[in-house]
Amino acid sequence: MATKTYLQAISDGLREEMRRDSRVFLIGEDIGVYGGAFKVTQGFLQEFGEDRVIDSPLSETAIVGSCTGAALMGMRPVCEMQFSDFVSCAFDHLVTVAAKQHYRVGTPVPIVVRLPSGGGFSGGPFHSQNPEGFFAHCPGLKLVCPATPADAKGLLVQAIRDPNPVLFFEHKHLYRRIKGEVPDGEHAVEFGKARTHREGTDLSIITYGAMVYTAEEAATAVADKDGTSVEIIDLRTLTPWDKQAVLDSVAKTSKVLVLHEDTHTSGFGAEIAATIAEEAFENLDAPVARLTAPDTPVPFSPPLEKAFLPQVEDVVAAIDRLSAY
């Protein structure tokens, strides 16, 4: 065990898999000489050479499409979108080709797409998005949203070994801010198993990614304020998602807040809330609440972006509303 940043954990997980398995290679914009826009692959070109660390042209379609081809030939490609926002340029290749190939003709497509996501830095409408909501609607893809350094490593390793196309959402706001214990060496975390980030009895917050920490601050605040005991469930993966863990938590607390940074309408929170409402109807003492970003692009200017992103105060207010119900 060592204490590492979230970014370092991703970098280490990737490096270790590349050392372990010569089929793993990387392709993306500026990931080689420059080490990636966020320096996740710093030093990789030197260690693995330019056959395995490929600085691609500015070509998201070719990046994802060629990963699919290489995967069909037995490689284990890991590509990087420079910002997750640009995955819109590879949407067709993910949804049409990679996601459906196995169902259609039985050929697995083991690719990983790394997606630096999320806001909080005045990145504006195109460098701040959380595009998981779009892809959650596509059967055949797996979606991973780690919150902790240990999970960032363990889920990335698992993603690389998974025989399916995996979208790996790395929250940029966690990269250097969040540190934690990370197992050394071999460490893989199973998909579809939520993590109880904090135990509680009065109310459940179902969330993932950076919002885990916003939830945590809010939980601490209400505990201090009036003793409300909040349980936080970190989903870790959205496809598959751990429905059972969510239903178990709701059975315990009877009140639930679904929280994400992605925008509201048809966000993954809708799926969670709809499922809880359908399958835990009799356990609910209050309506399932959702707290998300509003239905707007991510604005650039700090006062707007702050209003856009769910803040600790917003979570506290939502908890208070549910408590009062």
Partner 1 sequence: MAIAREATPVSSAADIKDADLDREDLLQIYRNMLVTRGIEERGHILYRQGKIPGSFYTGRGNEGGSVGVATAMRADDVGAPIQRDMGVHVTRGTDPWRIFAQYMGRRDGLAAGKDGNVHMADIRLGLIAMVSHLPALMPVAVGCALAFKIRKEPRVAVAWSGDGAMARGDAHEAMNLAGVHRLPVVFICDNNQYAYSTPNRLEFGVDHLADRAAAYGFDGVVVDGTDVLTVYREAHRAIEKARAGGGPTLLELVTLRMEGHAVHDDAFYVPRELLEAYTRKDPIERYRRWLKEQAILDEEADDAITVEVKKLLNDAMKRAEESPLPDPSELETGVYAEPEELDTPHHK
Ligand X SMILES: Cc1ncc(C[n+]2csc(CCOP(=O)(O)OP(=O)(O)O)c2C)c(N)n1
Residue 78 bridge partners (DSSP): 26, 112
C-alpha to C-alpha distance for 264 and 286, rounded to whole angstroms:
20
The binder of ligand X chosen from 60, 216, 234, 248 (CB under 6 A): 60
Q: What is the dihedral of CA 210, 174, 18, 165, to 10 degrees?
A: 30
Phi/psi of residue 234, nearest 5 degrees: -95, 110
Q: Which stretch binds partner 1 (CB under 8 A): 53-61, 206-214, 228-236, 316-324?
A: 53-61
Cα–Cα distance, 37 to 42 (Å, whole number): 10
Candidates 93, 127, 187, 197; catalytic one: 127
Question: What is the pattern of x (binds partner 1, CB under 8 A) and - over residues 171-210?
Answer: ----------------------------------------
The continuous run of DSSP H or E covering 19 comes out as helix 6-20
Candidate segments 13-21, 86-94, 205-213, 244-252, binder of a second copy by CB under 8 A? 86-94
Question: How many binding residues for ligand X (CB under 6 A)?
Answer: 6
| Residue among 236, 115, 94 nearest 165 (CA) | 94
**Is 127 noted as a catalytic residue in this protein?**
yes
Among 12, 16, 17, 60, binds partner 1 (CB under 8 A): 60
Question: Which of ligand X, a second copy, partner 1, none binds 75 (CB below 5-8 Å, type-dependent)?
Answer: partner 1
* C-alpha distances out from residue 235 to 83, 119, 206, 246, 286, Å: 22, 19, 7, 8, 22
Residues that bind a second copy (CB under 8 A): 85, 88-89, 91-92, 95-96, 99-100, 103-104, 125-126, 133-134, 136-140, 239, 263, 265-271, 273-279, 281, 284, 286-290, 295-297
For ligand X, the binding residues (CB under 6 A) are: 29, 58, 60, 82, 86, 89
Positions marked catalytic: 127
